[in-house]
A = this chain, B = another copy of it.
Amino acid sequence: MTQAAELTPAARKILDAAAELFYGRGITAVGVDLIAKEAGVTKKTLYDRFGSKEALVAAYLGERDERWREWLTARVLSGDAGAGPCERILRTFDALEEWVRRENPRGCGFVNAAAELPDPRHPGRKVITGQKRWLRDFLRELAVEAGAADPGRLADELVLLHEGATVLGGLHVVAGPVAAARSMARGALVREGCQGGAGAQAQ
């Protein structure tokens, strides 16, 4: 847990309302008055707790980022250490599948936010690039453990598949984008010398 516990009850309600509205309707289109009203809170309280809409946006993205990281690591590194590293890589797509289904009906929240925050100085931008970089590093580490011939390249490809599947999941033009991404990932793993099941890893 991060500073979530440090949030005041009112701040908690504000952040929950903001998360739903920002993701569901867009950041620019949602005003602070609406957020305060949905949260059952005064606008003054909102500004006392978060200082500005910019900061509230950054807090929304930060918490979403945190939840995604916890979700992914829990599903991938969970319990059974017996699972091979290649299997762990494939599991990131299983984790993504469920995440997209339950949290991403409108596509990637970070990509969507990036579309609305062109100003590079916006505090939310750091969160967005941090989220993407973290995913790439996480996948690269898994690729190294899997004994990939070129872990950097494999990580880039896996990020590409993750991103494409997440975005396409919100567009409803391709049937099962995450499954397609997973099967392509398997192909890349084979090429890199990892056959899937247990064992077969260097190190």
A residues at B contact (CB < 8 Å): 24-26, 28-29, 106-108, 111-116, 118, 128-129, 132-133, 136, 153, 156-157, 159-165, 167-168, 170-175, 177, 180-181, 183-184, 187-188, 191
The binding surface of chain A is classed by DSSP as: helix
Known contacts A133-B173, A171-B132; decide if A28 and B116 are in contact (CB<8 Å).
yes
CA distance A167 to B108 in the complex (A): 10
**Cross-chain contact A107 with B111 (CB below 8 angstroms):** yes
Q: Which of B115, B159, B162, B163 lies in contact with A116, CB distance below 8 A?
A: B115
Q: Which of B106, B167, B184 lies in contact with A184, CB distance below 8 A?
A: B184
Known contacts A157-B184, A180-B156, A184-B184; decide if A173 and B136 are in contact (CB<8 Å).
yes
CA distance A175 to B184 in the complex (A): 20
Known contacts A107-B115, A111-B107, A111-B111; decide if A159 and B163 are in contact (CB<8 Å).
no
A163 to chain B, nearest CB (A): 5
Known contacts A136-B174, A187-B188, A191-B187; decide if A161 and B159 are in contact (CB<8 Å).
no
A174 to chain B, nearest CB (A): 5
Chain B residue at minimal CB-CB distance from A131: B173
Known contacts A129-B173, A136-B174, A160-B161; decide if A116 and B26 are in contact (CB<8 Å).
yes
